[in-house]
């Protein structure tokens, strides 16, 4: 089995792995949920969002993420039987770039950057990613967004784009470790494409899949960590 130090490049999911998108979603949907007579649990809010987001990504795969989220907001409002205007919907879509990073992300990325080439494979638009990049604080070697690709993970097209991209960069597939939280968006399709993977299991203390759809059968993982800090510490110690 390969160790962490046997790879030369890491490809990252961003939202859910490096950026706390669940906090961003829950806070961004408060103008809706605060109007309800009964309180929704955070997981119920996230699961509602996941249903509408996944459907919108499949139906309009070339649409920019911030624009797509405006429609997701409206679909959520309709499900909750609440009236909204389009300006409120677009405010939610525009909030993506301000969603918070996980507390360990920037420091762990700075460490990993000293040892790997670092690549983004994200279901986001370029403007929104620019907001995330400021919080994460490193210079990325490659940035592949859904806006660039014209589709959203878990679509095969996104992984074709990643593999073609690393080939142009002179990185062999066996030297790449795909690093992500989402089983649905990343690990199931990543393993189907023969990628080794590191599961950053941010939801390890929770049940369910939160803001992602249930993938069905879980993918095998090459490594599993509960945070990116754990991954950086494992690399530094040389134990994995």
Residue 231 CA to residue 226 CA, distance in Å, equals 8
Active site includes 43? no
Please, which contacts does 127-131 make with residues 24 or more away whose CB atoms are closer than 8 Å?
Answer: 127/64, 127/66, 127/97, 128/65, 128/66, 128/96, 128/97, 129/14, 129/97, 130/97, 131/96, 131/97, 131/98, 131/99
The catalytically annotated residue of 6, 13, 186, 196 is: 13
Query: Based on the number of CB atoms within 10 Å of its own CB, is 31 exposed (0-12), middle (13-18) or buried (19 or more)?
Result: middle
Tell me the catalytic residues: 13
């Amino acid at each position: 089995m390969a160790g962490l130090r046997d790879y030369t490049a890491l490809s990252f999911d961003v939202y859910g792995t490096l950026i706390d998108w669940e906090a961003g979603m829950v806070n961004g949907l408060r103008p809706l949920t605060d109007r309800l007579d009964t309180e929704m649990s955070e997981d119920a809010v996230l699961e509602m969002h996941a249903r509408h987001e996944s459907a919108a990504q499949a139906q309009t795969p070339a649409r920019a993420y911030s624009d797509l989220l405006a429609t997701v907001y409206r679909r959520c409002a309709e499900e909750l039987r609440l009236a909204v205007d389009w300006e409120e919907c677009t405010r939610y879509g525009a909030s993506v770039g301000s969603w918070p990073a996980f507390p360990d992300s920037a420091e762990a990325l700075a460490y990993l950057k000293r040892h790997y080439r670092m690549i983004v494979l994200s279901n986001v638009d370029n403007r929104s990613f620019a907001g995330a990049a400021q919080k994460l604080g490193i210079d990325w070697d490659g940035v592949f967004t859904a806006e660039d690709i014209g589709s959203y993970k878990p679509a095969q097209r996104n992984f074709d784009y990643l593999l073609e991209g690393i080939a142009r960069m002179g990185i062999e597939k066996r030297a790449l470790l795909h690093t992500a939280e989402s089983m649905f968006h990343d690990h199931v399709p990543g393993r189907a494409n023969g990628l080794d993977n590191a599961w950053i299991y941010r939801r390890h203390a929770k049940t369910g899949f939160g803001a992602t759809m249930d993938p069905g059968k879980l993918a095998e993982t090459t490594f599993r960590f509960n945070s990116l800090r754990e991954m950086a510490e494992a690399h530094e110690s040389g134990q994995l």
